[in-house]
Amino acid sequence: MIRKLHCILRLNSTITQSIYKQRAPTLHCRNYATNEANENHKNDSSNTKRGGAAGSSKNLPSIRNPFAAAHEKTKNSYLTMVEIFEERDVHRRNHVEFIYAALKHMPDFGVEHDLEVYKALINVMPKGKFIPTNLFQAEFMHYPKQQQCIIDLLEQMEDYGVMPDYEMEAMLLNVFGNKGHPLRKYWRMMYWMPKFKNLSPWPLPDPVPDDTLEIAKLAVERMCTVDLRSKIDVFETSEIKDALDDTWIVSGMSPEQSKLMREHSRQKALYIEGPFNIWIRNRRINYFTLRADADPEFLAQLDKPQVDEDDVTQIGVPLFGRAPPRRHNQLGKVRSVHQQDDGTIFAICATGTSTKDSLLSWIRLLEAHGNASLGEIPVLFRFTSTVPAKAEQIEGPSNLPAHSSDTSSNKEHPDSKP
Amino acid sequence: MGNSSAKYDFETGLSDSCWELVISYLDVISQVRLAQVSKRLYSIFRNYAKRRYKHLDEKLIQMLSAEELEQLLQLIGDQVQSYVKYSCGHAFEQLYRRHFEIIVRNCKHLERFALYKVLLCPELMSQLSQLQHLWLRIDAGALRSRLLESLIPLQLEVLVLRGPQLNAEETKYICNITSLKELDICCAQTPIEQFLKLQQLEKLHMVMPWITDDQFLALIKGLQRLQTIYVPRSAGSKATATSNSSVNAQQWAEESRSPEEASAAAQQGLPAREPLVKNFFVGLADNELLGYPEVINREDMASLQNALLPVKDYFAEAPLQPHSLENLQQLGLYGLNVPTDYDGKGYAWSASLMASEPESNHTSLALSLQTHRVVVDMLRELGTPEQQQKYLPELGSGKLVASDAIFEYAPPENDLFGTKASYDLDKHTWTLEGEKAFVVMAPPGASQLFLVLAQTQNINVTGELGRELTLFLVDGKQPGVRLGETHATFGCREAVMRRIHFDQVQLSNQQILGRAYEGNRHSEQLMRFSRLRSTLLGIGLSKRLLNHLTNFSVETTQCGVQVKDLEMTKVNLSQAMCSIYAMESMLYLTAGLMDEFNNQDVTLETAITKYYTLQQLYAISTQNLSLLGPASLHSGQPAELALRDSAQLCTQGESLTTLSMFIALSGLQHAGIRMNEGVRKLRNPLFNPGSIFSKFLSSTSLESPKTNMRLAEHVHPTLEAPAQYIEHSVARLNMAVELMFTRYGNSVVERQHELQRLANIATIIYAMWASIARASRSYCIGLPLADHELLTATAICSQGRDDVLRLAMEIYNGNYINNDNNLLRLSKQVAKSKGYFAVHPLTFNF
């Protein structure tokens, strides 16, 4: 009966004006709800600042924040706490506040990427109670606080890149009905998120490995995609006799770069530059480049197009199927992707320690692995921040590469090397 | 009585002008009959003929038989001023000889006279006392000398002689015709002083291969009235015209640079024509080449057929057994194209191809024989007399078997070949180092000669520019030559192919074939020969496949229906028939061009012949799979062997893609030089508004091009429509070429997919051309089943027209409509993903 009435009302309300009138208050409601939510956030944060003392806040008299107080911060304990809340009493009082608090502490428990946890939180909501029964309820955001809470939950999922599934749709349907705003939000998410999910040209494995060496490999691999022929080598510094550090080196170089290096003038120095940052998901890797200054005149010659595109009298015919490449410029060579305006890049690497010694080992390893000409060219260090000379100088057991941030003093600090 | 009065009425009742009108509506034969009715009609007809038949042209003459011509000329012969019959007919020589007698007897006032290949009687010639303009095509011989001698008393003004080169004596006769104002001949070495007698000369077109700078200048100085002089270099056939008396001496020096080459050029044969297929790219078609060449004359043909009998018998009797070297030697298969001076059979191109047909049933054997013959061809063209003396007799007898060693397993990145030869300045020797692959081995028992293409560094030129190829003749027994592993080939398994290693092989200067550092040019020649010869293998194989398939479809009945009656089979068989017909026509047309004309440029023709043959061969052999089913692939089955062989042939030497690029780029190279000005204007429309407007206003379009090549006039009238298709296709090709030049400028060389379309168009046109030329000849002289040949040619041309239109349309539409753009974009991702990139179709995303 109610459904029928609903339908009739829906049919009658096709006048656009009325819809507009309905829309405006909806927006207002949502704003209101958001403000409220924000206040909640503030309250929560003040709660945590005070060390999560239970019941000390006047605004939230009846809720204790169990998340701040938990000793063991794991997914299991998190889910247990949600369970305890659900079973505490049938009314589930203050569940909105509970959900907000739970959302806030997700990163502490390391569950912010876990769909199961979000589902458990939604499950806290009572089923059926919030489903609007008529048109006005549906359009005027029935139970705004609760709806907004779940919208915020979905928003957080979106921010962390957690894609909902069909079960979540069913849950939302049970809680808010098919006119509920959280469900609309869910549908929008399900339209866009799958499309964005695989859009990265450099997709990372899921889950991203935790080992720094593996991440460094991923990073160098990704940077080397500019040249399809690039090869990634993992060297051990122990191969070099008098290396101080014992660590790994991930080096990326292509045959094209080897060729450029062979052709490089023996008089012009090469530079090891860095450390530069590359981020793999939430991990930072420091890497270094081996490069030479560009020869602008040569590049200009390479870029200068052949004199006359309109002249069709000089068309070459291939011999034995091997077409002589059309001369784009006077030199008859094609500019490679490694010959950039600001320098020619010969190789990149990431080392386990990011020390000068490991970089030195890198150069020697490159020389030993098919780049003999490297022995005849002077190689200089040019760092943008302090780089320790060897591994002992790095404090702490962290296996993350050094990331000192003072870039001012060490610029142009060439440290010559035989 | 009534009848005669009616005639009387007609005769008197109509005025002269009425009668003339009546006459003008009749055809010639009826006119002649009418004129014989009465004196009045005769005089009226004479009056009419004075205007109408003053000049007898080709069209008119073609309609008349000898008797009819005689009747006509008896009536009005004394009024005829010119008689022109340029184009050749087939087997009409006798007929034209009679024509000639009739003409001389009747036409006393003839001023202009042109006739093709006629046995002229010198005695009669002198009777044409008023002759001023003479155009003749005659063969060499005593008859020609006498004829030329008889020309001296005539007051000739224009003389054009086509045919084999004139010897010194004949030239002398011509130089005695002092009244000449225009002369066009092709002559051997003659003292220039002779020509200085021709003081009236205004135009001179002369092909004289050995003319020197000084002689040329003497000519220009000596002949005061000369306005135009055209002396093309006969050897290069690159059409270098030096017009006007102000000749660029330097250019001339370049042209006359290579005397050896000119001497190597065949002593007989006509001067080269403009290249046929290359000119298609420019939109020109040489309609005279629609006459299918008959280069082997009757007597030679008869003796050739006789000589072939034992070979045919041998191969018919011993179909599959391995062929011993002695047998092959005895049959003379190794010496087909070795000149008679060196104990060979001395067959020219067409003849040697015909002679190697019997063996082409055995693809592996034929492959090794053809490789041998290609090297012999090269020796014949480029070898010094010493080299020829040294190698050719042995090669001809089969004691020494030659093969080319060109291709390598893993060629280096920056050079053509890894095999290198270096020159020792002190010892004057070469040192060869490297390895070659896919070299066809001689049968056991024969010693081997390799033609090796090696990378050399020109001493006089430093750096990249000096890196040139050189051809070497390497004896298999020389120290340092080592046979490597045998390739396990997919097909042609009886022809053993191996690697050869050269370890510090010492070579003398006498072992260079042609000139050092000229290997690029020479190897082009080499490829030309090997393309032509390998085509024959493809044709033999295709014929075998078609015969086998036809037998199968006639013999087999499926569900009560004979396979041959299925429409699918019918279409397949006919398509194969058409393809083979086109292949064969192209092969012998190309060979005919090479035989008939001196240094004719057949680069494209040979490449196209091979390209088309391989393409169609592969199509035919894969058709087998669907018709015969799995049985066709049982090991040892003829279909399986043929499929293997055809796949092998497709990779032998050059691949199909390579060939198509070669065809398109050679054509564009030729067209680029000729179309450069137009292209420049079209590419800069704002600077050249005039040419753009005229382009807009011109009414010709890709769908309905306007042409005026008159191809239909050179084939049998039944083939008028196919000839029209060819005209349209040539025009479309030209439009496509112009469009591509306009769009891409000289970066057109990078648009390889478009180039492939262009190559396909050119290929189809040449196939159409050769087919209708052959069918027309067959029908005219009444060969067996000639009517079906007409049908075949018509089918080829109809299909070809559609294909050309589609391909040209694709080029016209550009890469956004013809799907090229999509493909190019896709390829980027394929390369990035290093292969197939799509995930499994059943993958979940969430």
DSSP one-letter string for B157-180? SEEEEESSPB-HHHHHHHHT-TT-
Strands B467-475 and B420-424: unpaired
Interface of B with A (CB under 8 A): 406-407, 411, 416, 520, 523-524, 527, 654-655, 657-658, 661-662, 665-666, 668-669, 672-673, 675-676, 679-680, 683-684, 741, 745-750, 831-832, 834, 845-846
Question: What tokens appear for B163 in the block?
Answer: 């045919």
Which pair of structure tokens corresponds to residue A140?
A: 């005027």
Cβ contacts (< 8 Å) between A308 and chain B: which residues?
746
A188 CB within 8 Å of a chain B CB:
no
Q: How confident is the model at residue A75 (pLDDT cuts 50, 70, 90)?
A: very high
Query: Is A312 within 8 Å of B661 when comparing Cβ atoms?
Result: no
Torsions phi, psi of A32, nearest 5?
A: -60, -45
Q: Measured between alpha carbons, how far is B511 from B505 in angstroms, rounded to an integer? A: 12
Beta strands (DSSP E) in B601-753 are: none
Of B96, B100, B195, B115, nearest to B160 (Cα)? B115
Burial per residue of A139-165, b for 16 or more beta-carbon CB atoms within 10 angstroms, e otherwise: bebbbbebbbbbbbbbebbbeeebbbe
Q: Do B746 and A315 touch (CB under 8 A)?
A: yes
The tokens for B122 are 């010198």
B599 in Cβ contact with B262 (< 8 Å): no
Query: Looking at chain B, which residue has its C-alpha nearest residue A198?
Result: B845
Cis peptide before B722 (omega within 30 of 0): no
Q: Is B407 in contact with A310 (Cβ distance < 8 A)?
A: no
CA distance B384 to B514: 8
From residue B817, how far is each of B283, B794, B801, B827 by CA, in Å? 26, 31, 21, 17
C-alpha to C-alpha distance for B762 and B293, rounded to whole angstroms: 21
Residue A54 has pLDDT above 80, yes or no: no
Share of chain B residues as helix, strand and coil, in percent rounded to the nearest 5: 55, 10, 30
A vs B: CB pairs below 8 A: 88
Q: How far apart are CA A121 and CA B475, in angstroms?
A: 88
Tens-place pLDDT, residues B299-315: 889 999 998 888 888 88
H helices present in B508-652, as ranges: 519-555, 567-596, 603-628, 638-651
B836 phi/psi in degrees, rounded to 5: -60, 130
Name the phi and psi angles at B131, rounded to 5.
-60, 130
Residue of higher predicted confidence among A307 and A4: A307
Specify the amino acid at residue B338. V
Confidence at residue A139, expressed as pLDDT on a 0 to 100 scale: 85
Shortest distance between the Cα of A180 and any Cα of chain B, in A, equals 23
Indicate yes or no: CB of A165 within 8 angstroms of CB of B846. yes
Q: Does residue A341 sit at the B interface (CB-CB below 8 Å)?
A: no
Ranges of residues in chain B with a pLDDT under 50 are: 1-6, 88-92, 233-267
* Structure confidence at residue A155 as a pLDDT band (50, 70, 90): very high
Q: Please tell me the predicted confidence (pLDDT) of residue B209.
A: 66
Work out the number of other CB atoms within 10 angstroms of the CB of residue B305: 12
Q: Are B684 and B747 in contact (CB under 8 A)?
A: no
Residues of A with Cβ-Cβ distance to B662 under 8 angstroms: 317-318, 321
Q: Check CB contact of A194 with chain B, cutoff 8 Å.
A: yes
Residue type, B294: E
Looking at residue A400, what is its pLDDT? 46
Token pair in block for residue B390:
């040294």
Q: Compare CB distances from B669 to A193, A310, A315 and report the shortest one's residue.
A: A315
How many whole angstroms separate alpha carbon B360 and alpha carbon B375?
Answer: 18
Instruction: Using alpha carbons, select from A107, A117, A52, A53 the residue that is nearest to residue A82.
Output: A117
Best B749, B752, B844 residue to mutate vs chain A (most A CBs within 10 Å):
B749
β-strands B420-424, B429-440 pairing: antiparallel
C-alpha dihedral over B68, B74, B79, B81, to 10 degrees? Answer: 50
Q: Do the Cβ atoms of A285 and A401 come closer than 8 Å?
A: yes
3-state secondary structure of A90: coil
Exposure of B322 in the CB half-sphere (CA atoms within 13 A): 9
Which one-letter DSSP state was computed for residue B294?
Answer: -
In contact, B276 and B593? CB cutoff 8 Å: yes
Report CB contact under 8 Å: A316, B665.
yes
CATH architecture of the domain formed by B660-818: Up-down Bundle (1.20)
CA–CA distance, A258 with A271 (Å, rounded to integer): 16
CA distances from B331 to A390, B307, B327, B374, B396 (A): 84, 9, 6, 19, 11
Report pLDDT for B8. Answer: 52
- pLDDT attached to residue B350: 92
Q: Before A207, cis peptide (omega within 30)?
A: yes
Q: Choose from A200, A225, A312 for mutation: most chain B CBs within 10 A.
A: A312
Reported as a pLDDT band with limits 50, 70 and 90, residue A332 is low
Determine the distance in angstroms separating the CA of A213 from the nearest CA of chain B, rounded to an integer.
24
Annotation: CATH topology of B534-657? Butyryl-CoA Dehydrogenase, subunit A; domain 3 (1.20.140)
Which residues does chain B have within 8 Å of residue A164's beta carbon, measured at their own beta carbons?
A: 846
Distance of CA B495 to CAs B69, B364, B541, Å?
60, 5, 15
Q: Which helix (H) or strand (E) holds A402?
A: none
pLDDT category of residue A322 using cuts at 50, 70 and 90:
low
Which residues neighbour B45 within 8 Å (Cβ) at sequence distance 6 or greater? B23, B31, B34, B35, B75, B76
Check residues A415 and B710 and name the one with the higher pLDDT: B710
DSSP A279: E
Is A243 strand, coil or helix? coil
Hey, which residues does A350 pair with through a beta bridge? A250
Tell me the β-bridge partners of A231.
A253
SS3 B648: helix
Q: Is B782 helix (H, G, I), strand (E, B) or coil?
A: coil
Instruction: Name the residue ranges covered by the structural domains of chain A.
Output: 1-24+32-64, 71-94+111-201, 213-302+334-416
Q: Which residues of B touch A312 (CB under 8 A)?
A: 668, 672, 675-676, 679, 741, 745-746, 748
- Quick check: helix, strand or coil at residue A285? strand
Task: Match 């349309």 to its residue by tokens.
Answer: B809
Do B416 and A315 make contact, defined as CB atoms within 8 angstroms? no
Token duo for residue B63: 């309609």
In whole angstroms, what is the distance from residue B29 CA to residue B69 CA?
9
Measured between CA atoms, the residue of chain B closest to residue A197 is B845
Mean pLDDT for A219-235 is: 92
Instruction: Verify whether the Cβ–Cβ distance A312 to B407 is below 8 Å.
Output: no
CB-CB under 8 Å, B673 with A313: yes
Cα distances (Å, whole numbers) of residue A34 to A147, A182, B412: 10, 14, 70
pLDDT at A323: 61
Reduced to 3 states, what is the DSSP secondary structure of residue A287?
strand
Residue pair A415/A380 in contact (Cβ under 8 Å)? The answer is yes
- Count of residues for chain A? 418
User: What distance in Å separates the CA atoms of residue B754 and residue B662, rounded to the nearest whole number?
Assistant: 13
Q: How far apart are CA B231 and CA B249, in angstroms?
A: 13
Residues of chain A contacting B416 with CB distance shorter than 8 Å: 319-320, 322
Burial group, residue A233, by CB count within 10 angstroms (0-12, 13-18, 19+): middle
Model pTM? 0.71
A193 contacts on B by Cβ (under 8 Å): 846
Q: Write out the H or E segment, with its range, that includes residue B502.
A: strand B497-508
Annotate B423-448 with b (16+ C-beta within 10 A) or e (fewer).
beeeeeebbbbbbbbbbbbbbeebeb
Check if the beta carbon of residue A93 is closer than 8 Å to that of residue A62: yes
Q: Which residues 203-242 of chain A have a CB within 8 Å of chain B?
A: 225, 228
Strand partners, B403: B450
Contact indicator for B593, B532 with CB cutoff of 8 Å = no
Chain segment B212-252, per-residue pLDDT in tens: 777 777 777 777 777 777 776 443 333 333 333 333 333 33
The H or E element spanning position B300 is helix B298-317
Q: Say yes or no: A195 contacts chain B, CB-CB below 8 A.
A: no
> If one looks up domain B328-498 in CATH, what number appears?
2.40.110.10
Which chain B residues touch A310 with a CB distance below 8 Å? 679-680, 683-684, 745-746
